[in-house]
Structure 1
Amino acid sequence: MANTIGVVVFPDAEELDFVGPWEVFTASAMLRGQAGSDPDRVVLIGPGLEPVRCAKGLRVVPDATFDDHPPLDVILVPGGQGTRREVKNEKLLRWLAGVSSAAQWTTSVCTGSLLLHGAGLAAGKRVATHWGFEDELEKLGANVVRDARWVRDGQIVSSQGVSAGIDMALWLVGQLYGPAHARATQRYIQYDPAPPYQADV
C-alpha cells in the first residue's frame, strides 16, 4: 500500500535536511512505480504556497499548506536556523502534534528535533540531533542520544545533522517496504559515502 509523505519546510530550514530525504523518498516511489506497485506520494508542506527561502538561500515552493494537505502517513521535519524561531510558532507545533497522532511515523533531521520536543512528541523518548545542539537540547529536558546517526523510539525517528537524514530516510524506506527495496533505492541514488577528507592524505 502506498504512503503519503509530508516533508515540512519553513523559512531558514536547512536545505539538505529535507532535500536529501526527499530524494530518497521520491527515488523509492519511482522504483515502486516501475515495479508495478503504487508509488508513494511525497508532498512539500509549508506555511503557505508562496516560495520559502531556506537557510543557504535555496527557494522552494510548497505543494500544500499546514491548513490544507492530504492525510499523512509519514512526516519529516528538517532542522536549520529557522527552528529557533519556529519553536515559538504555536500554530506549527499544534499542527505537528495533531498530524503526528494519525501518522505512522514522525521524523526529524538535525535541529528539527527541537520542534518535535516543542510539540510534545519527544517527551520521554530518546532523540538525536546535530552534535552542536546536543547540550542545548538536553538542557531543555530531552533524552539525547549522542552516538547514533538516527534513533527510533516508538513512532518517533530522529537523526543527527544534515547528511544523517539520508541514512534515516533509507532506513525508513526499509521499514516501509523491506531492506531489499531500501538497498535498491540506495543503489539508484548511488549513495555510498566516501568523504574526501576522511583520511589524512
Structure 2
Amino acid sequence: MKIGFLMFDDLEELDMVGPWEVFTMAAQLRPEAGIDCVTIAADGGTVRCAKGMRIVADHGFADAPALDVLVVPGGRGTRREVENPILLGWIAEVAPGCTWVTSVCTGSMLLAAAGPAKDRRIATHWAAVDLVRGRGDAAEVLEEVRYVRDGNVITSAGVSAGIDMALWLVGEIWEPAFARKVQRAMQYDPAPPYAGEV
C-alpha cells in the first residue's frame, strides 16, 4: 500500500507528520501489509513548513508513484496553493486512482478546488470554516467534528485532528483492533480540554 503525503511551502507541520506517524507506526506493527509512506512536492527538493521545519520530498510530481492513499495537509500555504493550477491539476490527476483521498485542516480547500471534494461534505480547522465556505466549492463545511467521510474522501479538522482521521482509516482498511494497537504504540491518548490544572 502506497501512501503519499503532498507537501508545499508553509504547510502545517502536524497536519502532515501526525498522519505520517499513524501510518508509519502501522507499517512497523504490520510489516506484511507492505505500507510504504512517501512525500511528494511539485519539484521534489526541500519544503519549508509553516513553523520552520524543513522536509525533503521523496518525489516530485513527475516521478511520484501511483498511490493508494493521498494525504493533503493544510496550513497557511493552502491560501496560495488553492490558486496554483499545477498543484490542483496534480491532485485532480492522481485522486481518481486512489482508494482513499484525505486531508487535514485547510487541505480540504485544496481537495474541493481540485475536484475530489467538490460538492461534498468536508471539515477544516475551526478558524478556517468561513474561508473555506466562502469559496463555495463544497456542499457543506461542517463544524464541531474531528473528521468526516463522504464517499472515499475523508477530511479532518485542524492539526491534531489528522491523527484521529488517520487512525480511523487504519481501522477501516484493516480492523479497529489494529487501529487501537497503533494508537497504543503511539501512546496517543488525548484528554481534551487542557487538564494541566487538575
Query: How far apart are the structure 2 equivalents of 1:11 and 1:73?
Result: 24
- Conservation of the 8 A alpha-carbon contact between 2:126 and 2:143: yes
Displacement of 1:51 = 1.2
Q: Deviations over 1:135-159 (max 9, x none)?
A: 1211222211112100000011000
- Conservation of the 8 A alpha-carbon contact between 2:112 and 2:119: no
Residue-pair matches, total: 196
Tell me, yes or no, if structure 1 residue 87 matches structure 2 residue 85.
no
- Conservation of the 8 A alpha-carbon contact between 1:113 and 1:127: yes
What is the aligned counterpart of 1:53 among 23, 30, 48? 48
Corresponding residue number in structure 2 for 1:179? 176
Corresponding residue number in structure 1 for 2:14? 16
Letter in 2 for 1:79: G
Matched residue of 1:123: which SS?
coil
Matched residue of 1:12: which SS?
coil
Query: How far apart are the structure 2 equivalents of 1:121 and 1:196?
Result: 33
Tell me, yes or no, if structure 1 residue 162 matches structure 2 residue 144.
no
Identity %: 56
Corresponding residue number in structure 2 for 1:65? 60
Corresponding residue number in structure 1 for 2:33? 38
Q: Give 5+ residue unaligned stretches, structure 2.
A: none
Corresponding residue number in structure 2 for 1:189? 186
Displacement of 1:124 = 1.8
Q: Deviations over 1:59-104 (max 9, x none)?
A: 0000111111111000000000000111111011011011101100
What is the aligned counterpart of 2:131 among 122, 132, 136? 136
Matched residue of 1:64: which SS?
coil
Matched residue of 2:30: which SS?
helix
Query: How far apart are the structure 2 equivalents of 1:56 and 1:81?
Result: 10
Tell me, yes or no, if structure 1 residue 25 matches structure 2 residue 23.
yes
Corresponding residue number in structure 2 for 1:74? 69
Displacement of 1:199 = 6.9
Moved over 3 A (4+): 198-201
Displacement of 1:182 = 0.5
What is the aligned counterpart of 2:120 among 125, 132, 135? 125
Letter in 1 for 2:75: G
Q: Give 5+ residue unaligned stretches, structure 1.
A: none
RMSD: 1.3
